[in-house]
Amino acid sequence: MPTPIKMPALSPTMEEGTLAKWLVKPGDTVSAGDIMAEIETDKATMEFEAVDEGTIASIAVEEGTEGVKVGTVIAMLAEEGEDLDEAAAADSGASAKAEASGSEDKASDKPTETPASAGDQAKAAPAAPKSDDGNRIKASPLARRIAEQKGLDLSSITGSGPSGRIVKADVEDAKPGAAPAKEAAAAPTPAPAKPATMGGDLDAPYEAQKLNNVRKVIARRLTEAKQTIPHIYLTVDVRLDALLKLRSELNKSLEADSIKLSVNDLLIKAQARALQRVPLCNVSFQGEELYQYTREDISVAVAAPSGLITPIIRDAGRKGLAQISTEMKELAGKARDGKLQPHEFQGGTASLSNLGMFGTKQFDAVINPPQAMILAVGAGEQRPHVIDGALGVATVMSATGSFDHRAIDGADGAQFMQAFQQLVENPMGLLV
């Protein structure tokens, strides 16, 4: 019996996703653990693995299709010995069930939740057309969208997909032609599309770029954070000379183990140790309750191609610097390759954002809810500094803590910043 492959829920908050890329095609044999597709979720672009073995009989959802609801049948898998054509035909039965429940119509026809301009509405997937006999024309959402953009009449196109379903290749190869007389008389003449090269609120040349799911979530969460969280900002200047000297000495001793500590590794440890010293800052505001955490899980901001993501060093206060460094390099690499698993970036009790490598001197970071604090660190630079009562030159870094004032009082935030400063300026405390 053929097995329907459904759109998976790759994160607890995922309700729909974009089928970014198929890595298999009909006729390919797969085994459990094989990577079949890349799916863009509300958090990141992730790989989708096969859980059964068999042969891909059909692809029901073309790559590039957006808004695919969790649970939607995206392909059919035939068992050993099954006829591929019969297994592919079963796709239409699975799709019919999806239509009966309304899932397919919602996925293809539901408008976006954000306000849309006239240009955006023109890009939206059209409602499912019907043929002359009133039957619904079977076409993928992507095929419908391309057909509308090219001015094609789907009823005049023969589908090459399972059960005659019109797919992307059918509409890409088709050329605009005269619509049937009956429909041509009834259909209004579409308005010409407005060029997306000039205009907009700033009246300057532009190129519209569609937001991916990750960028949409970043926009939503940061807007929510600034609108609902009363931020308080506390800044300290921190001398780095002792920490840089310790890092150099540790790297010499770890050279044989192929471990090279970065300044960021030591700052992760310093933030975690500061939270241990000031546990009132290792909290989150939960409406009627305040959660105080007994473990320091540090979310570290990493720039990935799809957008900002925060892999987590869990229990950083109790881990050694070498372990933190090894984990951070592995997580950062996976983040840039879009291969982080949900448990590797969901959670965290506090965040660290370091823009020092870009020469940024100081900045205020936005809290990542439901966390109650984020530490923003800038570049270390040579500055005039009072050392033992005399003016000298030191390597100094500005660090700014953003605190949720509902959960953390200013005095507690100040104690945390002081503890962080002391740990960086006296870094031997990071080794215990």
The answer to whether position 214 is within a domain reads no
Question: Phi and psi at residue 99, in whole multiples of 5°?
Answer: -65, -40
Tell me if 383 sits within 8 A of 232, measured CB to CB.
no
**Do 52 and 166 have their domain in common?**
no
Residues 230 and 53: their CA atoms lie apart, in Å, by 52
CA distance 301 to 368: 10
Residues 382 and 251 in one domain: yes
Report the CATH number at residue 274. 3.30.559.10
| Residues classed as catalytic | 405
Question: Do the domain assignments include residue 216?
Answer: no
Q: Do 57 and 170 belong to one domain?
A: no
Nearest to 62, CA basis, from 22, 10, 101: 22
Question: Using one digit for the tens of pLDDT, what is the confidence trace for 373-432?
Answer: 999 999 999 999 888 889 999 999 999 999 999 999 999 999 999 999 999 999 999 998
Q: The CATH number of the domain where 174 resides is what?
A: 4.10.320.10
pLDDT reading at 243 higher than 90:
yes
Residue 190: is its pLDDT beyond 70?
Answer: no
Check residue 149 and give its pLDDT: 74
Same domain, 278 and 321: yes
Q: How many domains does the chain have?
A: 3
Mean pLDDT of all residues in 247-253: 96
Average pLDDT over residues 341-367: 94
Q: Identify whether residues 116 and 103 lie together within a single domain.
A: no
The pLDDT score that the predictor gives to residue 111 is: 41
Domain final residue, candidates 62, 82, 108: 108
| pLDDT at residue number 414 | 98
What is residue 395's predicted lDDT score, i.e. its pLDDT? 96
Q: Is residue 37 part of a domain?
A: yes
pLDDT at 141: 64
Q: In the structure, what pLDDT confidence band is assigned to residue 91 with cuts at 50, 70 and 90?
A: low
Residue 43: its pLDDT value, please?
65
Q: Is the pLDDT of residue 202 over 60?
A: yes
CATH no. for residue 104? Answer: 2.40.50.100
Residues whose CB is less than 8 angstroms from the CB of residue 103 and which lie 6 or more positions away in sequence, other chains included: 69, 71, 72
Q: Which of 108, 125, 153 is where one domain is finished? A: 108
pLDDT classification of 181: cutoffs 50, 70, 90: very low
How far is 330 from 227, CA to CA, in rounded Å? 34
Which residues, 6 or more positions from 316, have their beta carbon under 8 angstroms from its beta carbon?
268, 269, 271, 272, 296, 297, 298, 324
pLDDT digits (tens, 9 = 90+) for 105-151: 444 444 434 344 433 433 444 444 555 445 567 776 667 777 877 78
* 102 shares its domain with 123: no
147 CA to centre of own chain: 29
Q: Are residues 25 and 36 in the same domain?
A: yes
CA distances from 38 to 31, 49, 64, 188, 239 (A): 17, 9, 10, 39, 45
Both ends of the chain: CA-CA distance in Å? 60
Residues 67 and 118 in one domain: no
Cα distances from 362 to residues 373, 375, 400, in angstroms, run 17, 11, 7
Q: Could you tell me the residue range of the domain that residue 131 belongs to?
A: 111-186
Q: Is residue 222 part of a domain?
A: no
218-227, 229-238, 281-290, 398-407: segment of lowest average pLDDT: 218-227
- 54-76 pLDDT, tens per residue? 899 889 899 888 889 989 999 98
